[in-house]
């Protein structure tokens, strides 16, 4: 039995998903002729009350296109210092948008309206980059899948409106947040100018992210996607997997969250774990005490075919997803030991 807890990106298509993919109606999407891609874009845009959407190969691409849409070279983006757009997109903000970043440290990845306000540059001061965009991430990966309070998002939006800033959401795991809070999708989406949604994380599709926003933004995004080499041809086979994921895999995210809570408890009860980040969704991050190194503990787990991710000095991340069962957690519990 292989127990791969490294990420929710490691899932394989289910038989139902594979069948949906093989039955997909497809066409050349660069010509705008793939009906399944169009249906996916429209479906997600409608679900969140936006005008339109654009299907891209990755969440990195949807984030990078959004940042490019909202900024001009030399502008500044406010984001958390541990955010995916900053830490894990290869310096894309600099490469693709020629923009500067203002990094903010918030509570497990979550910025407050005050944080945002304090970090906006004086637009009249020619020495400073012009602040143009705020990027939030919900749930927040490096914060252990932490969920934003919607009231805080609304306050951040007010600050953005007051200072003429755009607001983008990296919603790679937005459905993990929404199944927990039970928020209405359209209400939740209102404050954001653009949202990047990944289908290839907890939802279990093999590939694909959709950027949603206004018609004008998505029209411009089509040009930017082409420039980045993200125009795909018979992408409907992939979009069909994403449609299947939306129809079948949203509610089951709650199972992933329940299982993450089980892992949280296993870690809390272990003498060699110093700290477990509070688990809110499907990500568990814990800190080992100095008696054990991450590499030694990961090698120990690997002997029982359990894979987890090193996540910084002394930190380990485990992520639940549709490939993880209760039986696997029993095996994890048995092997979650350490002896010097």
Ligand X SMILES: Cc1ncc(COP(=O)(O)O)c(C=O)c1O
Task: Compute the Cα dihedral for 72, 75, 78, 79 and give only its sign.
Answer: positive
**Taking the CB of residue 11, how many other CB atoms lie within 10 A of it?**
22
Please identify, using beta-carbon distances, which residue of 121 and 196 lies nearer to ligand X: 196
Please identify, using beta-carbon distances, which residue of 244 and 336 lies nearer to ligand X: 244
44 contacts ligand X (rule: CB under 6 A): no
Q: List the one residue from 60, 96, 97, 294 that touches ligand X (CB under 6 A).
A: 60
165 contacts ligand X (rule: CB under 6 A): no
200 contacts ligand X (rule: CB under 6 A): yes
Judged by CB under 6 A, the stretch of 15-23, 59-67, 146-154, 291-299 that binds ligand X is 59-67
Please identify, using beta-carbon distances, which residue of 58 and 181 lies nearer to ligand X: 58
* DSSP letter, residue 31: G
Q: Give the separation between CA 66 and CA 167, rounded to whole angstroms.
A: 10
- State the DSSP string of 164-219: T-EEEEEETTHHHHHHHH---HHHHHTT-SEEEEESSSTT--SS-EEEEE-HHHHH
Please identify, using beta-carbon distances, which residue of 120 and 308 lies nearer to ligand X: 308
Judged by CB under 6 A, the stretch of 58-66, 95-103, 180-188, 226-234 that binds ligand X is 58-66
Please work out the total of residues on this chain that contact ligand X, with binding judged by CB under 6 A.
13
Q: Give the separation between CA 183 and CA 213, rounded to whole angstroms.
A: 19
Please identify, using beta-carbon distances, which residue of 159 and 172 lies nearer to ligand X: 172
Q: List the one residue from 170, 193, 264, 280 that touches ligand X (CB under 6 A).
A: 170
**Taking the CB of residue 182, how many other CB atoms lie within 10 A of it?**
6
Which position's Cβ is nearest ligand X? Answer: 59
Judged by CB under 6 A, the stretch of 54-62, 94-102, 126-134, 332-340 that binds ligand X is 54-62
97 contacts ligand X (rule: CB under 6 A): no
Q: Give the separation between CA 261 and CA 56, rounded to whole angstroms.
A: 32
135: Cβ contacts below 8 Å, ≥ 6 apart: 63, 67, 77, 78, 79, 83, 85, 168, 169, 170
Sites of contact with ligand X (CB under 6 A): 9, 58-60, 63, 84, 137, 141, 170, 172, 198, 200, 209
């Amino acid at each position: 039995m292989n127990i791969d807890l490294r990420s929710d990106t490691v899932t394989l298509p289910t038989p139902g998903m594979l069948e949906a993919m093989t039955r997909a109606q497809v066409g050349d999407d660069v010509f705008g002729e793939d009906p399944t891609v169009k249906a996916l874009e429209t479906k997600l845009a409608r679900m969140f009350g936006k005008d339109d959407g654009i299907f891209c190969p990755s969440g990195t691409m949807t984030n990078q296109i959004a940042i490019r849409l909202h900024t001009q070279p030399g502008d500044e983006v406010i984001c958390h210092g541990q955010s995916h757009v900053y830490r894990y997109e290869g310096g894309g903000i600099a490469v693709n948008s020629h923009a500067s970043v203002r990094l903010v440290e918030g509570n497990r990845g979550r910025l407050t309206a005050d944080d945002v306000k304090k970090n906006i540059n004086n637009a009249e001061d020619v020495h400073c980059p012009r602040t143009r965009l705020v990027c939030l991430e919900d749930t927040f990966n490096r914060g252990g899948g932490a969920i934003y309070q919607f009231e805080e998002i609304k306050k951040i939006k007010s600050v953005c409106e007051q200072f003429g800033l755009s607001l983008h959401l990296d919603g790679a795991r937005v459905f993990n947040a929404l199944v927990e809070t039970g928020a209405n999708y359209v209400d939740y989406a209102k404050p954001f100018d653009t949202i990047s949604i990944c289908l290839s994380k907890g939802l279990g599709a093999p590939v694909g992210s959709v950027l949603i926003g206004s018609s004008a933004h998505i029209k411009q995004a089509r040009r930017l996607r082409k420039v980045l080499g993200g125009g795909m041809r018979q992408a409907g086979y992939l979009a069909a997997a994403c449609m299947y994921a939306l129809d079948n895999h949203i509610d089951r995210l709650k199972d992933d969250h329940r299982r993450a809570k089980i892992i949280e408890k296993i870690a809390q009860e272990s003498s060699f774990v110093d700290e477990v980040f509070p688990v809110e969704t499907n990500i568990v991050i814990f800190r080992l005490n100095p008696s054990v190194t991450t590499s030694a503990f990961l090698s120990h787990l690997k002997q029982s075919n359990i894979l987890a991710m090193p996540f910084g000095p002394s930190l380990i991340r485990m992520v639940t997803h549709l490939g993880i069962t209760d039986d696997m957690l029993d095996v994890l519990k048995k092997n979650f030991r350490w002896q010097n």
